[in-house]
Amino acid sequence: MIQDLNHRSIRYLRLSLTQACQMRCVYCRPDFHTNAHGHDGELTPAEINQLVRHLACRHGVRKVRLTGGDPTAHPQLVEIIRLIAGIRTPDNHRLELAMTTNGLALASHAAQFAAAGLQRVNISLDSLDIRTFHEVTGLDALPQVLAGIEAAVAAGLSPVKLNCVVLRGKNQHQLPEILEFAAARGLELRFIEMMPMGPLRDRWHSLYMPAAEIRRAIEPAVECMQPLVQGAGSARNFRVLTRSGKITTLGFITPMSCNFCANCDRLRITSDGNVYPCLMDEPRGRLLPALRPAFHAADVDDILVQAYARKKPEHPAWGHTIMTQLGG
């Protein structure tokens, strides 16, 4: 098992399957970014299978999250899910297999993803207002995403969590409505502080809302809110009773106002095999030469050990890359 210099081990792999995404969220994918999936430098399903199997057997990885771009923009997503779902840890357990998605493909494919072995899903939902949704994502697709959320629940994916990036002046007044929406459906919701990376990096100061302000913004919908014991994840969770009498779990993901780097057990690998020990850092290794033309376990281990040794105690103040490239 690899540990970094601060004794943090890798347990959780966030694997970006593609840089392509059907959406162009204002804080995530810049205008210049192309949307094409598939080039020679992208890991194949077989390479992904070998790599994840190795990480599970030799490095202690227990959880995998498929991300992107949008993982549903990958034409072989079902095959990849099936391959990873078939991997067993040395003590013969399945990996926890989750996906983060914009939700567009779920109405038509959630059941297929669940049948292939996907267990849980996080769906981005920044607004319930058709115009704001369009403004933030670049797509007129709110009804499709809402149908996707329903389909994910119906397919038995559990938990289904909603991710909402908070943008001052764009969706800040809609947060109570989003909270009521999630609570009415028994869905967990997380409000995410915007990070200074990607296309809005230079406007981050004017758009960023810290969790303390987000809490004030949701007061109209909150009857009572109690902290839950901090789990292994990045969110600080609360049990919330809403004004309409619904109960749900609400999380705040606070990379900027109160980072959770001390407990970080994450390793990030991009669709072209670059290794990022931290979301906001630079790439610290290239796996492709160790995977192609044939898998070289010792080389993979060397690259990971070196990358992990460079994981900093805390994330840098500014992100070096864009989310759609790296996978959030």
Is 102 a binder of ligand SAM (CB under 6 A)?
A: yes
Q: How far apart, in Å, do the first and last CA atoms of the chain sit?
A: 24
Q: Do 102 and 22 contact (CB within 8 A), yes or no?
A: yes
- Closest residue to ligand SAM, based on beta-carbon distance: 328
Q: Do 7 and 313 contact (CB within 8 A), yes or no?
A: no
Q: Do 161 and 122 contact (CB within 8 A), yes or no?
A: yes
State the binding string over 15-44 for ligand SAM (x if CB under 6 A, else -). Answer: ------x-----xx----------------
Is 174 a binder of ligand SAM (CB under 6 A)?
A: no
- Footprint of ligand SAM on 299-328 (CB under 6 A): 323-324, 327-328
Closer to ligand SAM by CB, 2 or 48: give it. Answer: 48
- Tell me, by CB under 6 A, how many residues bind ligand SAM: 21
Among residues 68, 148, 273, 283, the one that binds ligand SAM under rule CB under 6 A: 68
Pairing of strands 266-269, 12-16: parallel
- Footprint of ligand SAM on 228-267 (CB under 6 A): none
> Is it true that the peptide bond before 159 is cis, omega within 30 degrees of 0?
yes
CA distances from 112 to 6, 85, 151, 158, 178 (A): 40, 13, 11, 15, 28
Closer to ligand SAM by CB, 114 or 197: give it. Answer: 197
Q: Which two tokens stand for residue 92?
A: 């013969």
Closer to ligand SAM by CB, 116 or 164: give it. Answer: 164
Q: Do 170 and 27 contact (CB within 8 A), yes or no?
A: no
Is 70 a binder of ligand SAM (CB under 6 A)?
A: yes
Query: How many CB atoms sit inside 10 A of residue 131's CB?
Result: 10
Q: Do 272 and 41 contact (CB within 8 A), yes or no?
A: yes
Among residues 197, 207, 279, 280, the one that binds ligand SAM under rule CB under 6 A: 197
Site stretch for ligand SAM (CB under 6 A), options 85-93, 98-106, 107-115, 230-238: 98-106
Place of tokens 């914009």: 102
Which residues would be at the binding site for ligand SAM (CB under 6 A)? 21, 27-28, 67-68, 70, 100-102, 124, 163, 165, 192, 194-195, 197-198, 323-324, 327-328
